[in-house]
Structure 1
Amino acid sequence: MSNKLKAVIIVFVGLVLVGVGVIASILLIQRLQSSRAEVQQTGVVVKTTVVVVTRDLMLGDQIKPEDVNMVEIPVEFSPRNAVTKAEDAIGKFVKTDLIQGEMVLAHNLANPTNSNHDLSFVLSDEHILMAFPADDLMSRESIIQRGDIVDIFATFQQIVQQIPNTTTDTTTTNGTPQEPVMRTFTVDAFQKVSVTALVLEIIPEENNNPPIVGSTGQIIPAKIKIRAYLLALNPQDALVLKHLKDTGAEFDIVLRSPTSTAQFELTPVTEDYIIEFYGLEILP
């Protein structure tokens, strides 16, 4: 085979390979463009609207209209149970802390006025919910409301062992022990207690008058009486409160400022404290 023929064959094979490469490149580019167009078309169509919070919310906070906003996101980023209507979130309470921009999920919302009495949303793992009777004057006047911060005062009697005064008491010299005595104490039993919810008694209208209907269609009773408070306490505090209640202690609830965080250092009040405080010692 002559050199001229070999050169012709090599040139022909080269042209064929170049042609195959060009055709393959064109087909690959067309396929990529087609796939990209499908992805863009799909991304535009599949979107959904969800509710997000506009500020940080803490456990037990009630969602107000200004606390939520509507945003559009790709449907694949929308989790199950995402709330898609603002009215489904407004007025509800959150069962967990939410940060600004976080989506609102239906299972993280609760309504304590519904038929399921869903009050557990305010409880952490370290707390239990305890009902406390509303028998004091503040309660009878319906002053305490849900979410208030209160202190619980208690007056009770307790048998105590007297400590002898070695400077004046002669009973210690003859070995006769001091007899236990019944003393009355008034103490600030618990401080900074949050009123989780109220147990209400609805008193109907007198003379069979028709009930008043509010603008939202809700029936407004003539009078509402507070029967009990629901308090979120740690188990040990709940036991102490139950013991005081079961042994006949008398309670009064006092209302704090909504921003109060102080821990008051108070002295329990007894008969001796009152005598010393008012200078009631009997002179010889």
Structure 2
Amino acid sequence: MNSRTRLFLLLALIIIVVAVIAALLLQNTGNGATNDSTPASTSAAQQPTRETTTRSTPEPTAEPIEVVEVVIAVQDIPRGLPIAENMVAVVQIPEQFSPFSAFSEAEDVIGKIARTDIAREEIIIQGKVVDDLVALANSGNVGSDAAAMLPSNRVLVAVPMDRLTSVAYAIQPGDRVDVMVSLLFIDVDDQFQSASPNEFSFMLANPEGEEGTFIFSDPIDGRFDTRIVPNLGTVPVMVRPSEQQRPRLTTQRTIQNALVVNVGDFPADGRLFIAPTPTPLPQAEDEETEAASSRRTNDGTPVPPTEVPRPDIIALAVSPQDAVVLTWYVEAGVPITFALRSASSTSLAETDPVTLDYILNRFRITLPDRLPYSIEPAIRSIRQLEVGTRIQLNTVTSEPETNP
């Protein structure tokens, strides 16, 4: 190899090395520029977006909800029951829903007495509890116990009762009863509203008076009709009633599931849940009274006990409309009979009005035939039960019924 060839190869090698080094330097420079430019462009692109979002939709500021602690019932607490520790609990509720007079400490409620029925999960307020029933009775500004125990959709009405209509005085406060009534129907004139038949008079010309004057015959009640009379044929007659119109009796159950609040008169102060004060034993005023009492005992004559009067009035909690119905019954003198419901019965059932026709059809009672014979003495009445008073539909008499 000559010198010229060697020189040419050396120059070529140098050129190749320089080219490789230049290529490596250019590659490193390009990557750095790309990495440096990308965050800048991204930041530049994102910055306007953040500013735009901040200006268009402001971020909401969370406002804290104010809560308070209140005492609630964890079970149903009946009226008059002392409140125990396991009957109440303290919970937190928003302040805007807290009653003004609500208790916040359970210790303030435990040991007090429920003024009214307190439902489960109900907030206990100051008006719902009292320290004791005696203090409640003496406060004089809380109203009657009857009003406190009435459901919110009921009103209280008093109606008369007696031994027969009250299930022999079995009805007691807290019971539920149905109301049955009996009505007597008669025919009346739709204009006069008087019992049929109407009385009428003939208007006749006055034979002794001036022309155009009339006289009226005596009043007659009945109806015009015709009858066939032998040898005379059909003749006009006046059919007159042999007795007063007989009313038609109908009985039906009307009001159902009425709550009995009280039987008899309420206490003068309206308090139903106060223990009565024991009546002190009567003491002899002087020796004479004592001696007279001893004589009565020594004579063997039993001293009749003081008779406790039976209640003659009952207070029922009913709907406002049923209260109007009961008032109408009382004003109309309609006899009211109460049917005692089972303590576990809450259902309402429909009943049919009972009439004479209903009795005959349901129990298949047939009319007896007219026979050419009978028994003696004649049977005029089958009411054999003797009671202290005779119960009639509109009046009560004190004369006892007697056997015929």
Q: 1-side partners of 2:168 and 2:158: how far apart?
A: 19
From 352, 358, 367, give the equivalent of 1:281. 367
Partner of 1:155: 182
The alpha-carbon distance between structure 1 residues 104 and 274, as it changes in their structure 2 partners (threshold 3 A), is same
- Of 173, 182, 191, the match for 2:247: 182
In structure 2, do the counterparts of structure 1 residues 56 and 85 end up closer, same or farther at CA, with 3 Å as the change threshold? closer
Q: Alignment partner for residue 64 of structure 1, among 73, 77, 81?
A: 81
Instruction: From the superposition, tell whether residues 149 and 98 of structure 1 become closer, same or farther in structure 2 (CA, over 3 Å).
Output: same
1:197 corresponds to 2:262: yes
Question: Partners of 2:246 and 2:346 in 1: how far apart?
Answer: 37
CA RMSD of aligned residues (A): 4.2
1:172-223: CA deviation from partner (whole Å, max 9, x where unpaired) = xxxxxxxx97311111121111113344378xxxxxxxxxxxxx96336795
The question of whether the paired residues in 2 share the 8 Å contact of 1:155 and 1:186 is answered with yes
CA distances 1:53-105 after superposition (whole Å, capped 9, x unpaired)? 23146xxx42534776365789x989526392444324x423xx6323x4422
**Which residue identity is paired with 2:155?**
I
Larger radius of gyration: 2
TM-score after normalising by structure 1: 0.54
> Hey, what does 1:137 align to over in structure 2?
164
Q: 1:109 to 1:232 in 2, by over 3 A?
A: farther
Q: Distance in 2 between matches of 1:181 and 1:225?
A: 34
Match of 1:229? 314
Please name the residue that 1:88 is paired with: 112
Structure 1 235/146 Cα, relative in aligned 2: closer, same or farther at 3 Å?
Answer: same
Q: How far 1:138 sits from its partner (Å)?
A: 6.1
The answer as to 2:289 corresponding to 1:262 is no
Which has the higher mean CA deviation after the structures are superposed, 247-256 or 221-230? 221-230
Task: For structure 2, list consecutive stretches of 5 or more residues without a partner in the other structure.
Answer: 1-68, 189-224, 226-244, 268-273, 280-305, 371-404
Secondary structure, aligned partner of 2:322? helix
CA distance in 2, matches of 1:62, 1:263: 27
* Match of residue 124 from structure 2: 104
Deviations 1:5-41 (A, max 9, x none): xxxxxxxxxxxxxxxxxxxxxxxxxxxxxxxxxxxxx
**Percent same amino acid among aligned pairs?**
24
Which whole-Å CA distance do the structure 1 matches of 2:311 and 2:144 have between them? Answer: 16
Alpha-carbon distance between aligned partners in 2 of 1:257 and 1:89, rounded to the nearest angstrom: 29
Q: Is the 8 A contact 2:180 2:251 kept in 1?
A: yes
- CA shift, 1:251, in A, is 1.8
**Alignment-mate amino acid for residue 316 of structure 2:** L
Instruction: Tell me whether 1:128 sits opposite 2:158 in the alignment.
Output: no
Alpha-carbon distance in 2 for matches of 1:103, 1:238: 32
Higher strand content, 1 or 2 = 1
Q: Do 1:187 and 1:269's aligned partners in 2 also have CA atoms closer than 8 Å?
A: yes
- CA gap 1:78/1:232 in 2 versus in 1, 3 angstroms: closer
- Establish whether residue 242 from structure 1 lines up as the match of residue 260 from structure 2: no
Secondary structure in structure 2 of the residue aligned to 1:262? coil
Q: CA–CA distance in 2 between the matches of 1:153 and 1:217?
A: 35
Q: Does structure 1 retain, via aligned residues, the 8 Å contact 2:80–2:113?
A: yes
**Residue 117 of structure 1 aligns with which residue?**
144
For 1:144, the aligned partner's letter is: I
Spell out, residue by residue over 1:206-255, the C-alpha distance to the aligned partner (whole angstroms, 9 max, x if none): xxxxxxxxxx9633679574343222222322222222222222222121
